Amino acid sequence: MTTPKYKIKEAPRDRSARGERLYVRALERIESLQKRKTSTRANLALTLRPIRRLLLLGGGDLLLGLAEQAHGAGLKVDVLTSPRHAEETLSNGRQLVDSLSGLGIRPAVVAHFDKPENAALIGDMGATFALSIGAAWIFKPDKIDGWFDAKLFNLHGTRLPQNRGGGGYSWQILTGNRFGFCQLHQVDGGTDTGPIVANEEFIFPHSCRVPKDFANYATERNLSFMGDLLGSIRNAAREFTLLPQAEYLSTYWPRVHTPTQAWIDWRWRAPEIERFICAFDEPYVGAQTTWRGQTVRLKRAFANAEDGSFHPFQAALVYRNNGRWLCIACDGGSIVVESIESESGESLMSSVKVGDAFMTSSEQLLKRTQRLQFDAYGLKPAVLRQRTEIGPSHWGPRDHLRRAREANRYDDERRVCGQTPTSEEATDEVVAAVPRSQHSSMRKRSRCASRSARERQIPTPFAHTTCEANAPAISPIALSRLRKPACTALQCACH
């Protein structure tokens, strides 16, 4: 009988304490991953014993609804929430903390979940059902096993293993998916990777168009789903057959931040713009673009083909305003918008004139590609800091060249006022703002990029020069990808 080469006898930290030379963190990650991979295959049965207590972790209207439901059924209810969830205003117009206080529940607000003192907030898990609903923390395997006795569950609203991650119902609207799910799965330390305990599939009604509609309907279905499940283990044990998730079918979508990422790209077709505006409608602030130099937010929009099709040069032009809605030309039809507001919430419907054009610059479009980081307080402050035109001081030549390519990758589609510099001249503008020791490296990379682009017969990815006269806006195709203010006069000789 052969002895296995690697067998876990002790925790890596214990072995390290005895003087063994180990890469502790690396070994812990390997052991955690291996445990996650094998646990769902080995333990396909789960027994839930009768419960007397419901422990809710997270926030939102669904958590409040479950707390009310369980409280009315005679269960003891405890809530752990994060600062951003505690201060969130719910659909009833009150904050979560105030709403729970009205039920006699005093939630514990926790910013850093992994602190040892938080173990006391979890309490005895003997007759407790622990449920995460959009919790802001990352649950580590040692806490799941030690504090929750490996029985922490999460309620997910989309099909798994597809559609893991956050983003609410915005991703669902963008992809045109009307299938809804009540999916209860075990938490195993990964992002929505645990085995599925129970699930229910449904279809969202056609009346659901914006995230608020989807969330309200899903809340009703999940309250019914969890009410039946908790009722079945209220006084008797119940056996569940776990369904492991097939990793090769998985997809993941990150959280989104409306003020940072919800910028409309007017090159899209009308149905795509309709979905995008709907995806950031209520309860969010709305999809964004610029009008006369100020940021505006659009809501309550739908695509319309009645007025025919339009040339791409007409995209984002307002061709009708009757005081109640705007008609905006797009590729493949038009967009009818019933709400347009400034950043302060002021209605601009009467201010927008026929012939005005909306514009979204390349810098604003680039914000959609940022990978944002969130914590228990919300969007991390480091992400909120605006980058300069050139970039952070720690950037190297490769970073500056990448930024130059990204900022100008749409320039081949727009009208150009004045001369178009060579790639080396455009690079000099970027080089001038970085340390002299890096200049030669940047110019070398610029020449390589320019030569490679010529060989492939594609536009070189550097900036074009535009004139800078201030005038009313013209076609967004000519304006929406500029780093500098472009000449915008209809009578300008440059056009």
Instruction: Report whether 71 contacts 100 (CB < 8 A).
Output: no
Q: What type of residue is 79?
A: V
Q: Is the pLDDT of residue 214 over 90?
A: yes
Return the pLDDT at 445.
Answer: 52
Return the pLDDT at 45.
Answer: 86
Return the pLDDT at 386.
Answer: 41
- Structural domains of the chain ordered from first start: 45-253 (3.40.50.170), 257-391+455-482 (3.10.25.10)
Instruction: Report whether 451 contacts 435 (CB < 8 A).
Output: no
Q: List helix spans (H) across 57-149.
A: 61-72, 83-86, 96-101, 119-122, 141-146
Q: What is the pLDDT of residues 299-314, one digit of tens each?
A: 999 999 999 889 999 9
Give Cα separations from 243 to 145, 156, 157, 186, 385 (angstroms).
20, 15, 17, 10, 43
Q: pTM score, two decimals? A: 0.70
Cis amide bond preceding 259, omega within 30? no
Q: Hey, is 20 helix, strand or coil?
A: coil
Strands 294-304 and 287-291, sheet pairing: antiparallel
Q: Is the pLDDT of residue 488 over 60?
A: no
- H/E segment holding residue 212: helix 211-232
User: Cα dihedral angle (110, 283, 89, 224), rounded to 10 degrees?
Assistant: -80
* Average of per-residue pLDDT across 131-149: 92
Distance between CA atoms of 318 and 334, rounded to whole angstroms? 10
Q: Is the pLDDT of residue 73 over 70?
A: yes
Q: Is the pLDDT of residue 382 over 50?
A: yes
Evaluated on CA atoms 149, 119, 372, 281, the torsion sign reads positive
